[in-house]
Amino acid sequence: MLQELENLRVLQKIDNQIFDIENFLAVVPGNILKLQEEFDTKNQKFEELSTLLVQTKEEKLKSEKEYEEKKKLLTNAQKKLSTVKNNKEYEAVLKELDTLKKEINTLEYKVLELSDNLENLTKQTEDLKGELAKIEEELNKLKQEKNEADKDKIEQLTKLKEERQIAASNIKRQYLSKYETIRKVRNNLAIVRVEQETCTGCYMKIPPQLYVEVKKNTSIQQCPNCQRFLYFLEESE
């Protein structure tokens, strides 16, 4: 095979490896994405519940304070009952007592209800907190694994780029620049094998006269359809 063709093939082989590694590095694994999504959803829920929890606590405190105040008022009203001077005053105090008792009763229910809510919310937030911690741990593990895998790939990439520089320097400038142009527009593939009179880059049949030339592997030929460089190997090779 013509040395120039051989050199182009070597360069293509390196470029294929570089292409694969760069794609690998660019992709965030699906399991990380999925887990991150789950974490974000649960974390949002956690924050909503935490806000609700704070609000409920404040409301409970406020209701308890109000309850205590009403109780004090009730005690005072009850004391007043023994000092009333006439029926009218008596009626008024009784009415006051009645209102206060109703209010206290309502507040009691409210505080109980808020306590229940608080208990539920606390349990829910604690459960979520546990789930989030687990997901985070798993995420960190996966990210670390990805980083470890990337580390090897980055090393390989550095080595390949050095190899590429040498391989490229072995190719005549005119072919190298053509190679680069084709590679850019043809999905990284600039030199391909011809099989059964067909370009394996674009899968178009090549003209018989060109096929005869390509089969010799003694000159640089391009596919008339996709412009890729062509070479020939026997079936078994």
**Size (the chain), residues:** 237
Residue with tokens 């008022």: 73
201 binds Zn ion (CB under 5 A): yes
Distance of CA 19 to the CA centre of its chain: 23
- Of the candidate spans 50-58, 121-129, 191-199, 207-215, the one that interacts with Zn ion by CB under 5 A turns out to be 191-199
Closest to Zn ion by CB, 100 or 206: 206
Residue type for 90, please? Y
Residue type, 100: L
Per the listing, tokens 């370009």 go with 199
CB of 9 to Zn ion, least distance (A): 16
Judged by CB under 5 A, does residue 210 bind Zn ion? no
Q: What CA–CA distances, in Å, run from 107 to 47, 61, 65, 74, 230?
A: 28, 11, 10, 13, 88
Contact with Zn ion (CB under 5 A) among 75, 76, 158, 225: 225
- From 202, 210, 215, 232, residue interacting with Zn ion (rule: CB under 5 A): 202
Binding region for Zn ion (CB under 5 A) out of 16-24, 28-36, 163-171, 215-223: 215-223
Number of chain positions touching Zn ion (CB under 5 A): 6
- Minimum CB–partner distance for residue 191 and Zn ion (Å): 11
Separation CA 166–CA 58 (nearest Å): 72
Secondary structure (3-state) at 91? helix
Binding of Zn ion by 223 (CB under 5 A) = yes
Nearer to Zn ion, 111 or 201 (CB): 201
**Selected range binding Zn ion among 130-138, 155-163, 168-176, 219-227, rule: CB under 5 A:** 219-227
Written as six digits, the tokens of 84 are 């009333």
Rounded to whole angstroms, how far apart are CA atoms 218 and 117?
84
Summarize as ranges the residues that interact with Zn ion (CB under 5 A). Answer: 199, 201-202, 223, 225-226
